[in-house]
Amino acid sequence: TRPLLIAVTQLTSTDAAALKDELLIETPMAETVLAYAQNAAASGLDGVVCSPLEAALVKQRCGGGFCTVTPGVRFAGGDAGDQKRVMTPAQAAKNGCDYIVMGRPITQAADPVAAYRRAVKEFLG
């Protein structure tokens, strides 16, 4: 089995204001992410890293087999940290995310193993 080749769209720490004011991109976030994803698909890549908020849109635009890796996943009521575009593991699953990335909510938890198991349970239902 060959490894998957994926591209990054926009960081989940980027919000609409940063997109416009820092990156000088006037196009709305969802349109920007979808354009990047479509370019990746047209180039033969297997998927993209995107926020869980855009995963369903990416799948609609690029096909259900196009992989989405989604950072910005946080537990309900948890600290979002520097992440701007976030969802819970359960919401990410419902939005079609293939893989979720949860760093600090697990690594900085009082019980990282329990946090990991909670994330898996919430994501897989």
pLDDT in tens, 17-51: 888 888 888 889 889 999 999 999 999 999 999 99
- What's the token pair of residue 86? 């976030």
Q: What is the pLDDT of residue 42?
A: 96
Query: 62-101 burial string, b = 16+ CB within 10 Å, else e?
Result: beeebbbbbbbbbbeeeeeeebbbbbbbbbbbebbbbbbe
Structural domain of residue 92, as residue ranges?
6-124
pLDDT for position 8: 92
For residue 35, is it within any domain? yes
Helix 29-42 and helix 55-62: axis angle, to 10°? 40
Q: Give the global pTM.
A: 0.84
Query: Does residue 38 sit within a domain?
Result: yes
**pLDDT single digits (tens) 62-100:** 999 999 999 889 998 887 777 888 899 999 999 999 999
Tell whether 1 is covered by a domain. no
Q: What is the domain-level CATH number for residue 17?
A: 3.20.20.70
Cα–Cα distance for residue pair 57/30, rounded to 1 Å: 8
Mean pLDDT of 102-106: 91
In a domain, 18, yes or no: yes
**Which position has the higher pLDDT, 78 or 61?**
61
* Total number of domains in the chain: 1
Q: Other C-beta atoms within 10 Å of 43: how many?
A: 9
What is the structure's pLDDT at 11? Answer: 80
